[in-house]
Amino acid sequence: MINMNSIEKIKKALGPCGLNCEKCFANADGGIKYHSRKLQELLGNFDIYAERFITLIDEPKFKNYPAFKIMLDYFSETNCRGCRDECCKLFKDCGVKECYKEKGADFCFQCDEFPCDKTNFDDHLRKRWIEINQRIKEIGIENYYYEIKEKPRY
């Protein structure tokens, strides 16, 4: 028997497209943000040392540190609460975020038009979207969630 509290938790974790919002780099409470902040703390004022290490230990890879730091800062500042709460701050042109509300479906596979051309996904994401929704339909939402909840999203 499906536990309704469990279903609500799963719907908070997964977008209507089936992607795991909890594992998204933009998630405000996600592991990527958390670990990015921890890494920032551990690195402290490493900027100065990265520049010195280029010549001090003869390691040209440290020339890339400024670009790395830009990405680390970006990952640590992300603040999306998930597709269902905020209509995805990450993918502004997502066609799913409003469609699922209009259709009254919790997930795309429940729609009579699935798969459709309304998502605005690129070819890679479209393929993943179809595979994810077919898998949810095949094994059920709870089983799908427990199957993927510990796996990376990317």
Question: Domain residue spans in the chain?
Answer: 4-148
pLDDT under 70 in the chain at which residues?
1-4, 87-89
Q: Are 94 and 119 a contacting pair, CB within 8 Å?
A: yes
Would you state the pLDDT for residue 90?
75
Would you state the pLDDT for residue 2?
56
Q: What pLDDT digit, counting tens, does each position of 27-49 carry?
A: 999 999 999 999 999 999 999 99
Q: Using CA atoms, how far apart are residues 131 and 119, in angstroms rounded to an integer?
A: 14
Please state the pTM of the whole predicted model.
0.83
Backbone CA torsion sign across 131, 103, 99, 18: negative
Would you state the pLDDT for residue 74?
96
Would you state the pLDDT for residue 85?
79
Would you state the pLDDT for residue 4?
58
Q: Which residues are CB-neighbours of 142 under 8 A, at least 6 positions away?
A: 2, 6, 7, 10
Q: What pLDDT digit, counting tens, does each position of 4-21 carry?
A: 578 889 998 999 999 999
Q: Are 74 and 23 a contacting pair, CB within 8 Å?
A: no
Would you state the pLDDT for residue 101?
85
